[in-house]
Amino acid sequence: MNRLSNEKRPQKERIYQLFAQVADALANPHRLELLDLLVQSPRTVEELAQEAAMSVANTSQHLQRLKRARLVEDQRDGLYIRYRLADAAVARLWLDLRGVGQQQLAEVERSLDAYRNRRREFTRITPQELLALQRRDEAVLLDVRPRPEYQAGHLPGAISIPLEELEAHLDELPREKTIVAYCRGPYCVYADQALELLSLHGWKVVRLEEGVAEWQQAGHSLER
């Protein structure tokens, strides 16, 4: 039995080496941010570099590491290379990693409070409460992400007003309804900034912490 195990040891170690290749690709904060962005929508290298505040060259190198681990795939789009997640399982892996980190590391919550420093000032709403409000036509669901992300997939019934355009379009929002804002999920500050502006102008506002990835993981569908 031991002799057989020793003979099989190289093959077994190879399996773990392959798993380690995936873990190694994830073991970088910049690559995790790129995955988080690709959860929202496919993007070119240039678009990812701008969103992640990195050079195009550095962004390309990180994407190649993710590609070698089969976490992302690319496709030529005219003069550009557009990247997307290789599979929906990659998005689930990212959400699970994030969840374990928040559960096991108290520093995550403290860092989130520092980043979203006004997040505890706004009432939060669950997906079930949102659906109930929508059925009663008592709320407007506002997607404040960049428009290409909205076009790639958004929560049912959501309207798109990107954060940088919101102040110019306030008169399009009904005063008699609650405004429910969401963005890229609980680690995104855009919805907080939108709610701050809306509440300043007198709207009743609430925050939906879930974004498209969390919404899908809970078994709900998106609109496109």
Q: Residue 82: give the domain boundaries.
A: 2-92
User: Does an H or E element contain 77, and which?
Assistant: strand 72-77
User: What are the residue numbers of the active site?
Assistant: 183
| Closest by CA position to 183, among listed 206, 157, 150 | 150
| Span 77-98, pLDDT tens digits | 888 999 999 999 999 999 999 9
- 210/118 same-domain check: yes
Supply the pLDDT for residue 4. Answer: 59
- In-domain check, residue 222: no
Rounded to the nearest 10°, the torsion over CA 55, 56, 61, 65 is 100
**Distance (Å, whole) CA 191 – CA 202:** 16
β-sheet bridge partners, residue 73: 84
Give Cα 113 to chain centroid, integer Å.
Answer: 18
| Distance in angstroms (rounded) separating the CA atoms of residues 22 and 26 | 6
211 and 177 in a common domain: yes
CA 200 from centre of chain: 27
pLDDT in tens, 43-71: 999 999 999 999 999 999 999 999 999 99
CATH of the domain at 73: 1.10.10.10
CATH number, domain of 153, equals 3.40.250.10
Residue 54: other Cβ atoms inside 10 A: 17
Domain count for the chain:
2
pLDDT at 6: 77
Query: Residues in the chain with pLDDT < 50?
Result: none
